[in-house]
Amino acid sequence: MNIFVGNLSRKTEQKKLLEKFQEFGSVTSFNYLIDKINGEWKTFAFVEMMNEDDAQRAIDELDGLEIDGKIISVHISRWRREDRRKSGRGGGRRWNDAEPKKW
Q: List, edge to edge, every strand of the sheet that includes 65-67.
A: 70-71, 65-67, 101-102
Phi, psi of 45 (to 5 degrees): -150, 165
56-73: pLDDT as tens digits = 999 999 999 999 999 999
- Cα-Cα-Cα-Cα dihedral sign, residues 88, 35, 45, 10: negative
Interhelix angle 52-62/14-22, rounded to 10 degrees, is 120
Q: How many whole angstroms separate alpha carbon 11 and alpha carbon 21?
A: 18
Q: How many whole angstroms separate alpha carbon 62 and alpha carbon 102?
A: 10
Domains and CATH numbers, the chain: 2-77 (3.30.70.330)
Q: How confident is the model at residue 33 (pLDDT cuts 50, 70, 90)?
A: confident
pTM: 0.74
62-102: pLDDT as tens digits = 999 999 999 999 999 987 655 555 555 555 555 555 566 66
